[in-house]
Structure 1
């Protein structure tokens, strides 16, 4: 049933759809043609089957007052298949049914004095998108149910729009005799505390931002009569940047490509960048940047609105709030939730990695807006279409966005300016460190393009520089440049441009390779840190000191009491940490050690955890790790890749990474032994390499002597090494450094390779990371 309920329009109707259809299309059901057309248009806009511009073009020669229904018109235009139209009709009927039920339940009553068309639009599409698509003006005075005053100061005039959290009204401020926009929370007294807190959070975040291009908040309060929370702000009108973008590209497609229209859009975009830059200076990120959230008032001023998903960086108490009961708290957003608009969403947002969202996430959003200006489409609009056509649906679309493949403007608009396309590509880079690091940097690059200057994101060709110079010095250029010179310069600069482009692309690949090496190094150091914390925790367990006292003859409970307790704790911890091979508490005996408690994972079946019986506990006469640990202070940790004596006869080829900390007797104050954690370092490294995803270089990870553990290549993926295998074809400089054992190093050969060796423990074998760009 779950699979059937998730079918897309391409795969047919679900059983639930057909069941709803039998309920909604009874012979006595009185559904008007007007209701069907409006509801169908609302479902079509929401479905993502076609974009809004295509829908607008399709209905440009259709009227709801004519004899032809919208479904018949769409079928005649071949915009959708018959199966898709059937599915939309059924969903439209469901929308009508829900609207009628809300009226019957008293939760939504049509305003008095409204026309039947306006009442139907209000009931079936509160967002106003259908009215805008069909060219119907919905600005009407508030009805009797809505005509009221808020706190005796604000007189409701008419409704401007409605979202999931609140409704926006045009009101008159009686005290100052001016028009303002008033947003009140939906549901009134029935609104949840989380919704109210999120509503107030939106107002507070917006209110703290004082910038000409951010909507100013006048007042935040609660109406004493209705109990609804509300805030007032400047009345901006209803024209958005999306409207201007749609108009520009409609004209362009009809042959009216006025460059001034593009420059006006880019000027508005620069203002948006400055507004977001101001918000970032106040540690606020928007997290839902898109053209619909940018309003252009009647005098051309650009205003950024809808800060409902805004978040204050490094201030968890004012994070954006989501209606979630699972967390049990109204001041945090759930890790793993997807926040924002998918069509303009950054990869880290789609992946739900909320702790990674920062100013560079907004840079991606700004790049998405610029992408829409350049192409006329949202960046992930093609992904949405492919997800619907392939049947993977919304989940598949989110997964594709999370994979981080950057959309290219030239794939959507082949004639897009290459410099603007490069700016988009940099702003929307998969890795955050590769994007612009501030909104002002992005704005400056766009302004440089508008001024005819080279931009930092694009390696301009010599021919392009010549063309710009000619345009700025037309008279002089006409007298100096002859036909022969033009041919010579063209041939020379074309070759230089190709070489520079190749160098730039190669350098970008090298920069990404350096980032991959840094990420691997950080992961390995993170493994060592986690093991250090865990082994300290083991040494602090009460059964540890209990065993020490029992074996030292201190009066108290016996060894037989403490040992089972410690074995139980070790088993539980090993079960929770699937990466660990063994946990042990070992007593120092002269130069060696003897096992007191050892719990390990079966090599044949990793899910099997076993406690070694007394008969199998080992005693090692000489143990270098114990000798080193015995010299440490309490709480210090020794990390080692060296093979211990107890594993000399180990039949497996497991490379063990050990973390050990000393255990001192409370009474004697002398070192009694140590707690040890062991992990399979080769398998952990394999997991680290797989976490990199698709790479564009060869990466090898080995011990300090060059004995290979694992590698990854673009054509092969991650591969575990065979015993005795080493890093192949090491450059001479790297091989010479490898020969000096015990010394850390880091080598960078420009645009060729990166090599580094570090020692987590100075007396261990060390770790070597070598990455190389494959030969072309």
Structure 2
């Protein structure tokens, strides 16, 4: 299309030459032009003016010439208006305003001026094309390369052009999309300054329509002449009321806001016949532009700019078009930065699958390595273990590669935020990352990391993790029988230990989704006729502690033992979830995982010399002396060089009637009855449990090594039974005294677990039920499966706990140890366990 400075449009293709154009319009009416110009024919005609394409012989170019129509040439008012327009336009020298090139008077007295002819599309046409299908939920890019962003950029340049005019004291008074042309080279031109005037100057009277002209009073987007000047759908309220004295730059700002409304919504602010639209403008504002846009994604900031520009009160608008343009340019600048930042964030996001794949492959390799090592015995030659070691090295290399890629991912997301600090995509990705890191840090009891990750999460979260940051979780607790009272204690640090502090009563069971702050708790459950039961729970941020076993959907009712069902030194460890492994500083720690362990009973203390003597002497009384001699504590066979089970000096001596009595010394001190028994092998420990089971009618056995770890750590993955900090005054270890030796089982009351089990971190280790395997005991579907070692199996046996012979750091609850079943150690004794019922 072709558009002239006065806004007249003609449907000419830019490919048409001057000859074809003249032929199309006809040049029958010859006009006596100045000698410099050759008439190529009329290209547009309005109510009182016409525009002709002319050839400038002096400069060798085609331009547009505007002049009055002959029918109104004699009108003094028309001539005055024409001259006013020519002079006003000539005074505006801006790239966004069509320049006046030349001017003069024809022989018949009509004034004329020339200007460049702009070829391109009107802003109205571009708006229509960018909006595409009205039902579409997106803006489209036109075949000629216009996008929504470019449309807003064109609008900003309109504001700049009008802002320049405002600085020169000129108002347009008829701004609308049809009066903006976008040229073939992308130039944006504000057209038709026919209603413009200088502020403070008396405007020429409006020109009456030429004889025979028929103004279209029913079209709200056409310019009206008379007391109400302008185009109804885009004029300001003061303009619609005919208050000419109030028209100024804010009136143009309103019209620009209406153009922006059209660009955002796809249609003008008001619709209907012109007279009706004028009444609407006077009556009140149009619908909110977001609602008018339907399902188009209108940016909130642009909608706010539009709303302010179209404010009903003049004082509430931008003072001039330049101020409006600055806001739009600021949005565009931010949008461009957002696009650049989004590209960077997208590139970073593309790294994430590779990181996940590397870590998954690492986990697979480690699982394969653990499987291979589980089939190898500790004393097997290097050739057998080397393939598993190679897998571990490959896994470590993958871990390093994943770490480097994660650094690149973090740098990419941070770089995106450097460009656009408000980029939601980068904030969301970082918030998710730090949320996972925060949970992992809290599970690992890493206080510094947890504080750092929480601060980073708060910095990046935009509401997605509000529940997580609130730091609350849900607790469900069901008991058998129901109706038990629950007292809640929260574990809090005090003098390097985690000490339970009373919080309050939770009411009777069942408890369903009781909201509590995240943290480690102890629930003390009481019911009439039942033993008091301690249930440690760990409530994570946004998580639920519900006691639902693997593969089930409802919480398991926790049995409450009847009074008398437990002995005074028997401790109940209820069924439930716990965290095992995951301690890189613990010897041979298993990988961290959440595991379900069924309920069991554990001896509060390790078996003492006094109790073990009863066992041996009962065997003698039953005529089983040979067994008693085999199971008697002895010096390790390595000290005598013998391998027979009866080799080594017996620690107990024989008294009256052949009964065993205490004997032996450690560092000059005689063995004491309340010391934990030591120097017995796995077979002796197993024999003691079998004897106790027969004696009491209860199914005593050795504890599984993960049962023992759960008994030590409770539910919160603590490092030691008392908490996460080591001190040799809490448990009997090598550093606990200048003279290391065993002590009585009640000597260190602070070496107590959340369930009330004593001595799990010091004094003596305990023989465990299973064969020692690198991969750990059997687990099926997240549930521990007890797999007792066969008596004749020669493989290593597990033992757990701290000992008086070792530094306290080797007493970490996740630490694992193994010995041959015939080994006797001063550091290993026995503790018994049994299932709750049957």
TM interval, shorter chain, is 0.3 to 0.5
Q: Which has the higher contact order (CA 8 A, sep 6+)?
A: 2
Q: TM-score, normalised by structure 2?
A: 0.37
